[in-house]
């Protein structure tokens, strides 16, 4: 407790020392953080309703063109670090991706994102079985974010312990016709970006692409990624329009340095785990998606029809297996909604399909794939129906309710047939209800809700059987979550102070607990007991002057096991869930004198356990980052350039930014770099 108070006090003092010299420069004409009351689309809930009427903890973030030009935004944690409820920890390992938690959901992920729905430009990156791989996503192009900080299976079905909805569509009114940006930085970083935005009549087109390469902070962590994307909106007539999406990413190389034990991570953080490096563990992947949404205004409401397709091919040589995966996925959604004076409703049906062709081979010396150990086709079919309703009970008081039914069928066709035919199937049926209230009180809003989520085991989790063989693990079931939350948000009258305070509690049963066997680095799963997550989220934004913005956020979460055991039978009742810090806090300071932009931000993360029996911990850390840029140097009527420089981990702190929970041989830790920098310049053509 003393250690916690010491760090918390240091954090608060640092923030206010940085802010205090400028606090007296109040300007009553500026209110850059005030809420808008106009009707806007809350994309994370498929709703066109006022933001103030959503009875949920919902964060919306909009990135200005100044921020897009002057922030490297190489990884998703750069966009979310200061937001309540969501925590993205950077593994500095592009073969595994980043680790995302919303109120502790996602803690068990060994790679990619689990338990959270991620949508990019209207198309889910989350597959039918609940896996999310973010190779397609280049955070530098993200303009808008909607984040639902709580269970949302009523809206999105499987794997919706939270929702992150990302949009790259620019505001065409002020977007440059052509934008080019280049940057370079520590550890061999090079990146080039290109963006084109055009509008003609009532039609819009946005094309963007980038190429990223870096040698990596750690040995054996080199990565190369190329991305391209397209969004377009076509005006058909006064009643209908068509929105088109497309994206493609190629990752020809992403080396996997794996994890280290605590002493090794502290003393030689740049090392890779020798077993992975000597076996040249890595990942090569290509992924593409296309989709379209058709909108038509009908006499009884608005019709929306969305269809999309995704493919992904993956080659991943690992010490324990040479993995080939070819994935095809698609989906369609039909929805009708109507907004009346006091009643809004929507109803729809949705279908998703996923087909994985998976081939695993054993490895021999010199990284040559040898014996075929798995050859099967896995399919997932998800059919659902849903209905949502919002009704104005009284002045400023609204009730929202919804219900969704999902049928998930997993099927495996064993094509190897060594120890008998391991083909089989699993079918899950789930109802997901929710209900909430929202009450407006001038500049303040109170909300409360009860919501649910379910998370089925993914195909990868089903196929990883401790006893080996094909087919699916017949003994694991979906997780189910029930959540209660309540909160207040608004603006203090007569001030430039916005606030948000939310409390919640979640009960999760049949948790999928990850574990490893003594002689393998492969992660297996089993259902064991329950967990309870109780938490508090607080955010404060203050803009005392048009040239000054500050914010602080604080997250407390008490996440513990109930009636749970480890794979060897050890009881972990009331033990902390690994990978989740009890306390996390951030502070930001933005100063904008003239055409210059100065940013300073801090993030403190409390220590947290990394295994279920809580015998090993990741130490707490406090990180300072800074960024300096210019709003744009005019080079004529149609050309401007924006230089910037960022320095991260300003104090050169030695820390581990991420972990793999319940890892083998106590190798839980993923070290982060010390002080490092990136600098670049953006050119805009009007």
Average of per-residue pLDDT values in the chain: 88
| Contact criterion met (CB below 8 Å) for 526 and 475 | yes
| Contact criterion met (CB below 8 Å) for 466 and 517 | yes
Distance CA 205, CA 496 (A): 37
Evaluate if residue 365 carries a pLDDT over 70.
Answer: no
Give me the phi and psi of 97, to 5 degrees please. 80, -175
pLDDT digits (tens, 9 = 90+) for 247-291: 999 999 999 999 999 999 999 999 999 999 988 999 999 999 999
pLDDT digits (tens, 9 = 90+) for 76-118: 999 999 999 999 999 999 999 999 999 999 998 888 899 999 9
231-237 — which CB contacts under 8 Å span 24+ positions?
Answer: 231/121, 231/168, 231/169, 231/205, 231/206, 232/203, 232/204, 232/205, 232/206, 233/169, 233/203, 233/204, 234/203, 235/201, 235/202, 235/203
pLDDT band with cut points at 50, 70 and 90 for residue 395 = confident
Burial 109-124 (b: 16+ CB within 10 A, else e): bbbbbbbbbbbbbbbb
Which range of residues forms the domain containing residue 679?
2-685
Distance CA 328, CA 287 (A): 10
Q: Which residues contact 242 (CB under 8 A, 6 or more apart)?
A: 233, 234, 236, 292, 293, 294, 295
Evaluate if residue 2 carries a pLDDT over 90.
Answer: no
Mean pLDDT of 554-568: 89
Mean pLDDT of 509-513: 84
pLDDT band with cut points at 50, 70 and 90 for residue 146 = very high
Q: Report CA-CA distances (Å) from 136 to 125, 126, 379.
A: 8, 12, 22
pLDDT band with cut points at 50, 70 and 90 for residue 1 = very low
Q: Which residue has the higher pLDDT, 299 or 211?
A: 211
Q: Which residues contact 32 (CB under 8 A, 6 or more apart)?
A: 543, 546, 549
Evaluate if residue 9 carries a pLDDT over 60.
Answer: no
For the chain, give me the number of helices (H) and strands (E)? 7, 38
Evaluate if residue 5 carries a pLDDT over 50.
Answer: no
pLDDT band with cut points at 50, 70 and 90 for residue 469 = low
Evaluate if residue 6 carries a pLDDT over 60.
Answer: no
- In angstroms, what is the C-alpha Rg of the chain? 25
Mean pLDDT of 234-243: 94
Q: Which residue has the higher pLDDT, 274 or 37?
A: 274
DSSP 3-state of 194: strand
Distance CA 391, CA 341 (A): 9
Strands 240-255 and 282-298: antiparallel
pLDDT digits (tens, 9 = 90+) for 178-198: 999 999 999 999 999 999 999
Q: For position 15, what pLDDT does the model report?
A: 39
Mean pLDDT of 38-49: 64
Evaluate if residue 207 carries a pLDDT over 70.
Answer: yes
Q: Which residues contact 103 (CB under 8 A, 6 or more apart)?
A: 85, 149, 150, 161, 162, 504, 506, 533, 535, 557
Mean pLDDT of 164-173: 89
Query: Of the candidates 311, 162, 181, which has an alpha carbon nearest to the alpha carbon of residue 247?
Result: 311
Q: For position 650, what pLDDT does the model report?
A: 97
At 621, which CATH number?
2.40.170.20
| Contact criterion met (CB below 8 Å) for 192 and 198 | no
Token pair 């060594």 in the structure block, residue: 418
Query: Of the candidates 502, 456, 471, 398, which has an alpha carbon nearest to the alpha carbon of residue 148?
Result: 502
Q: Which residues contact 368 (CB under 8 A, 6 or more apart)?
A: none
Q: For position 228, what pLDDT does the model report?
A: 97
pLDDT band with cut points at 50, 70 and 90 for residue 48 = low
Percentage with pLDDT > 90 across the chain? 67
Q: Give the count of domains, the chain.
A: 1
């Amino acid at each position: 407790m003393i250690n916690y108070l010491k760090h918390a006090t240091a954090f608060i003092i640092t923030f206010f020392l940085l802010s205090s010299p400028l606090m007296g420069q109040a300007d009553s004409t500026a209110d850059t953080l005030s809420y808008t009351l106009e009707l806007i689309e809350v994309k994370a809930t498929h709703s066109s309703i006022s933001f103030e009427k959503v009875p949920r903890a919902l964060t919306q973030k909009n990135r200005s063109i100044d921020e897009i030009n002057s922030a490297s935004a190489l990884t998703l944690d750069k966009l979310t670090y200061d937001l309540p409820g969501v925590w993205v920890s950077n593994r500095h390992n592009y073969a595994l991706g980043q680790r995302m938690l919303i109120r502790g959901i996602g803690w068990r992920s060994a790679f990619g994102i689990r338990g959270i729905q991620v949508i990019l430009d209207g198309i889910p990156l989350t597959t039918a079985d609940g896996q999310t791989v973010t190779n397609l996503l280049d955070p530098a192009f993200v303009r808008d974010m909607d984040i639902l900080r709580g269970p949302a299976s009523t809206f999105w079905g499987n794997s919706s312990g939270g929702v992150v909805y990302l949009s790259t569509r620019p505001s065409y009114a002020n977007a440059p016709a052509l934008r080019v940006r280049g940057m370079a930085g520590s550890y061999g970083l090079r990146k080039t970006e290109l963006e084109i935005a055009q509008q003609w009549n009532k039609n819009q087109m946005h094309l963007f692409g980038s190429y990223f390469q870096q040698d990596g902070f750690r040995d054996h962590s080199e990565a190369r990624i190329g991305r391209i994307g397209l969004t377009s909106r076509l005006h058909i007539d006064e009643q209908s329009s068509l929105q088109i999406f497309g994206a493609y990413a190629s990752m020809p190389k992403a080396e996997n340095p794996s994890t280290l034990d605590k002493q090794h991570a502290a003393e030689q953080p740049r090392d890779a785990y020798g077993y992975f490096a000597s076996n040249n563990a890595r990942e090569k992947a290509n992924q593409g998606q296309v989709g379209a949404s058709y909108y038509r205004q009908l006499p009884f409401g608005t019709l929306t029809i969305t269809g999309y397709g995704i493919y992904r091919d993956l080659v991943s040589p690992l010490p324990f297996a040479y993995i080939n995966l070819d994935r095809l996925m698609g989906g369609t959604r039909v929805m009708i909604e109507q907004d009346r004076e006091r009643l809004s409703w929507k109803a729809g049906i949705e279908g998703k399909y996923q087909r994985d062709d998976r081939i695993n081979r054993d490895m021999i010396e010199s990284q040559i794939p040898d014996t075929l150990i798995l050859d099967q086709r896995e399919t997932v079919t998800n059919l659902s129906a849903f209905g949502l309703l919002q009704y104005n009970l009284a002045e400023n008081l609204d009730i929202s309710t919804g219900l969704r039914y999902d049928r998930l069928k997993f099927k495996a066709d064993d094509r190897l047939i060594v120890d008998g035919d391991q083909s089989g199937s699993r079918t899950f049926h789930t109802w997901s209800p929710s209900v909430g209230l929202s009450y407006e009180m001038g500049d303040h809003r109170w909300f409360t809700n009860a919501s649910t989520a379910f998370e089925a085991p993914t195909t990868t989790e089903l196929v990883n059987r401790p006893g080996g063989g094909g087919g699916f693990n017949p003994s694991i079931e979906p997780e189910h979550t029930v959540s209660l939350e309540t909160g207040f948000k608004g603006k203090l009258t007569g001030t430039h102070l916005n606030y948000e305070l939310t409390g919640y509690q979640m009960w999760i049963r049949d948790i999928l607990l990850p574990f490893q066997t003594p002689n393998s680095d492969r992660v297996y799963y089993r259902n064991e007991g329950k967990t309870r997550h109780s938490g508090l989220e607080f955010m404060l934004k203050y803009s005392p002057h048009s040239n000054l913005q500050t914010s602080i956020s604080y997250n407390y979460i008490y996440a513990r096991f109930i009636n749970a055991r480890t794979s060897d039978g050890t009881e972990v009742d009331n033990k902390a869930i690994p990978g989740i810090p009890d306390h996390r806090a951030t502070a930001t300071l933005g100063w904008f004198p003239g055409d210059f932009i100065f940013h300073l931000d801090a993030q403190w993360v409390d220590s947290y356990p990394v295994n279920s029996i809580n015998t090993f911990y990741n130490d707490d850390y406090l990180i300072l980052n800074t960024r300096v840029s210019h709003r744009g140097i005019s080079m004529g009527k149609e050309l401007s350039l924006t230089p910037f420089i960022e320095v991260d981990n300003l104090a050169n702190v030695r820390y581990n930014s991420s972990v793999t929970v319940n890892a083998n041989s106590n190798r839980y830790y993923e070290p982060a770099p010390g002080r490092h920098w990136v600098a670049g310049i953006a050119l805009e053509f009007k």
